[in-house]
Amino acid sequence: MLFIIMMIPKEIQRYMLPIDVSSKSANNELELAFANTKEGKWLRDNTQRAGFIIRYSKGKDSITGYAYEPWHIRYVGDIAESIYQEKLTLEEYMNLKK
């Protein structure tokens, strides 16, 4: 079972439809180990099907300004599948669409 926490926004980027997700197998904590759990792998592979993306991708901190957060998802709607398939950040996707 997944444990979902709505994050209290600290800045404008965090106001836009974010959800933090954890699980019992990650001690319901928001930690990097979540990525290696069954639930974390499922989240990584399936969020785009519901219009979500992993907001802060591994190895993309120089683009997003944030370290990898496998638990932090954001709703982006129909563009989620393209972002997922092309392995882009939201910033990269938006720059391509300019």
Catalytic residue list contains 39: no
Q: In what order do the strands lie in the sheet with 18-23?
A: 2-5, 18-23, 69-75, 52-56
State the catalytic residue, choosing from 69, 81, 91, 92. Answer: 69
Nearest one of 6, 25, 12, 1 to 73, comparing CA atoms: 6
Q: Give the active site residues.
A: 69
